Amino acid sequence: MVKIGFVAEGECDTFILKSEHFRALAERLGVYVCPEIINAHGEGNLRYSNLIPFANLCYDQAETPDKIIVLTDLETEPCVIEVKKRIETSGMADKIVVARKALEAWFLADHEGLSRYLGQRFPVVEFPEQTATMPWDELRQRVKSVSPRGVGQLKKAFAKRFAAHFSLERAAQHPRCPSAAYFLETLRTMAGSP
């Protein structure tokens, strides 16, 4: 079993990586997720000069992982390659996974998880990574239109609650959510899983 440490852009990513659902998936793939997820507290902190201390923290606090994956968002950057270049310069990450626009696009791709969370059917979002606004804003608007429950004002509070319902596998199966599929494939490849 390969031991993977994670450096995550922020708290939403951290909640997903710490969730029982994600850890169970990783275990099925042959990946041991180190218990301590390093939170970079914002994409501005994921620059090559900052990544070395984060990677060192990961080695120290996350039981000396075999590999390190950095999970970050594209946000408003023009392309994934530019985001990876900004981080790769340090040479500390074995793999960099960039969620298109933002991780919340993966939430939109998992309509089944959203349906479970809301206790009612949430419609399929055809282009979760190509929303007109940022995925969090799109998610808030769409949930508001189908449920009086809503998602609340705070993204991290929602992510913490939703982590128990979210499935990376379901998001990766969405035909227009390639960054979630890339993350799942990265885990499979690192573990040598079929």
Q: Which residue has the tokens 């914002």?
A: 42
pLDDT at 89: 60
Record the tokens describing residue 140, joined without a space.
């808030």
Q: Where in the chain is the domain with CATH 3.40.50?
A: 2-102+176-191
Strands 2-8 and 31-33: parallel
Angle CA(132)–CA(77)–CA(104) in degrees, nearest 5? 50
pLDDT at 90: 61
Q: How many residues does the chain have?
A: 194
pLDDT at 62: 63
Please, how many CA atoms are within 13 Å of residue 150, restricted to the half-sphere of its CB? Answer: 10
pLDDT at 132: 94
Instruction: Decide: helix, strand or coil at residue 1.
Output: coil
d(CA 58, CA 146): 41
d(CA 76, CA 34): 30
pLDDT at 9: 92
d(CA 37, CA 45): 15
- Type of residue at 44: G
List helix spans (H) across 19-79: 20-29, 48-61
The answer to whether 111 and 139 have CB atoms below 8 angstroms apart is no
pLDDT along the chain (194 residues), means of 10: 93 96 96 92 78 82 85 91 80 87 97 94 96 95 86 89 97 98 96 77
Q: If you classify domain 2-102+176-191 with CATH, what class do you get? A: alpha beta
d(CA 103, CA 140): 14
The answer to whether 104 and 117 have CB atoms below 8 angstroms apart is no
